[in-house]
Amino acid sequence: MEGSPVLISTSVNGAGRELRVEPHESLLALLRDRLGLAGSKNACEQGECGSCSVWLDDEVVCACLVPALQADGRSVRTVESVGEPSHLHRVQEALLDAGAVQCGFCTPGIVVVLTDLLERRPHPTDEEIRTALAGNLCRCTGYQKLVAAAHLAEGAA
């Protein structure tokens, strides 16, 4: 028995939303499939890759692991809230400038994690950057360019 949809009230990227969600629905499914916010990627569905990273009440979480019901009364921010196509955020600019964007599948989660890190720790060490990125899998960059991008973004603050 799956249960009946439940009405939740949440804020997504600053906009208040009332939505009926299924008890089994993940926050990632809600964001991508129902709200059209496709920036967060659906990759491992096990919280191992970081491609679906979002903020839930200012804490970075893997949206694939969070039941959508847990967004009730809370604030959700996605990668779509970081910068704009006409004016990229300093982390997005730095990733491009450092050559740290290749296939791009992991990039949204990395943007969220690095943005969060630099908001909390404006001048992180290499070790702090690598620790922050530990939950984000990237098969293309080798991570050194990601560390370099974080330092570039730090200097742009």
Residue 19 to residues 31, 74, 99, 139, 153: CA-CA distances in angstroms? 11, 13, 39, 36, 36
pLDDT of residue 2: 66
56 forms bridges with which residues in the sheet? 59, 76
42-68 pLDDT, tens digit each: 999 999 999 999 999 999 999 999 999
Domain carrying residue 115: 90-155
Q: In this structure, is residue 38 part of a structural domain?
A: yes
pLDDT of residue 102: 87
Kindly give the parts of the chain with pLDDT less than 50: 1
Same domain, 60 and 95: no
pTM of the model: 0.94
pLDDT score, position 100: 93
Q: CATH number of the domain that 60 lies in? A: 3.10.20.30
Q: 106: domain CATH number?
A: 1.10.150.120
